[in-house]
Structure 1
Amino acid sequence: MKKVTFYIMQESKNGTEASMPQHHILACKLAGEFYQQGQRVYIHANDESAANQVDEYLWQLDANSFVPHNLQGEGPRNGAPVEIGFQPPCHRYQVLINLHDQTPQFAVNFNQIIDFVPHQDGLKQQARERYKHYRQTGLQLLTVNVE
């Protein structure tokens, strides 16, 4: 059965957001874990700027944590193991990591979907809407609290 895992974010310890949102950093970490398991991952961002930010973050990881990735439309013909974009993916992936405010229409094409509940009220409400949509679609829903 296809499943959706929501990671529930807590307010950052210092009370301020870093230059990149916590859930984007966690998304990069999870993409690396899925890559290590041999799974292909598509990270869906809100827009080109957000996709570029995730791309830059992945390039800054140390050599031991390197995740082969590319922005959508770049890289090898069949795509890298991890692709970052803001349009529907052109290749097949097992895992969708959703950083978009809305539920992507193509989400049902993935076996596993990762989504996030940021601690900010407006973003939290958008996450509730995505949760409802996934539930109405009949997907198995799980939640994980992030400390």
Structure 2
Amino acid sequence: MQTVTFYILNKNITHNKLTPTETFACKIAIIKWREGNRILIICNNNNQAININTALWEYEINSFIPHDLIKNKKIEKNIPILISSQYHKIKTQNVLLITLITQNIKFSHNFNNVIELVPNDELSKQWARQRYKEYKKIGATLITVKTYEKK
């Protein structure tokens, strides 16, 4: 059964020049990787994918986060965090999908575990509500988490 977690993001959480969504994508990817997950991060466009890739190189000064961009449909099987701006056919078993895409994407139904990041603006929330309904229609277990900036 598919589990989808929607994270409603706080506008104020940022890291360097990243948007709040990109910042949280890096943070949650690192957490989930340390829990033993393989991860695919799907971005809105190539620039966002490059931003995420760069940020993961710099996110923690004292540690290495193993990741890479998917290039020319060549997928490195041993890299635990893959980043792309488009879907690539991969074995989705045991892969956690983190999606930054605001509009509906059909391939997310292929993954057992999905993290949907929802920026804190009305248009993004409307798209997220639509995706929520789609997941509910197929019987996914749905979880909603509101993030807050730590003081």
Distance 2:49 2:105 in 1: 15
TM-score in terms of structure 1 length: 0.86
Maintained 8 Å contact 2:15/2:23: no
Q: Which amino acid aligns with 1:26?
A: F
Distance of aligned partners of 1:141 and 1:43 in 2 relative to their CA distance in 1, 3 Å threshold:
same
Which residue of the partner structure matches residue 86 of structure 1? Answer: 85
Distance of aligned partners of 1:126 and 1:36 in 2 relative to their CA distance in 1, 3 Å threshold:
same
Which residue of the partner structure matches residue 116 of structure 2? Answer: 115
Distance 1:62 1:36 in 2: 13
Q: Which amino acid aligns with 1:54?
A: I
Distance of aligned partners of 1:59 and 1:142 in 2 relative to their CA distance in 1, 3 Å threshold:
same
Maintained 8 Å contact 1:78/1:91: no
Distance of aligned partners of 1:110 and 1:49 in 2 relative to their CA distance in 1, 3 Å threshold:
same
Q: Secondary structure at the match of 1:66?
A: coil
1:139 paired with 2:140, answer yes
Q: Which amino acid aligns with 2:97?
A: L
Which residue of the partner structure matches residue 59 of structure 2? Answer: 61
Q: Which runs of 5+ in 1 are unaligned?
A: none
Which residue of the partner structure matches residue 76 of structure 2? Answer: 77
Aligned residues: 145
Q: Which runs of 5+ in 2 are unaligned?
A: none
1:23 paired with 2:21, answer yes
Identical counterparts, % of pairs: 34
Which residue of the partner structure matches residue 12 of structure 2? Answer: 12
1:46 paired with 2:44, answer yes
Which residue of the partner structure matches residue 101 of structure 1? Answer: 102
Distance of aligned partners of 1:140 and 1:76 in 2 relative to their CA distance in 1, 3 Å threshold:
closer
Distance of aligned partners of 1:120 and 1:19 in 2 relative to their CA distance in 1, 3 Å threshold:
farther
CA shift for structure 1 position 5? 0.3
Q: Which amino acid aligns with 2:145?
A: V
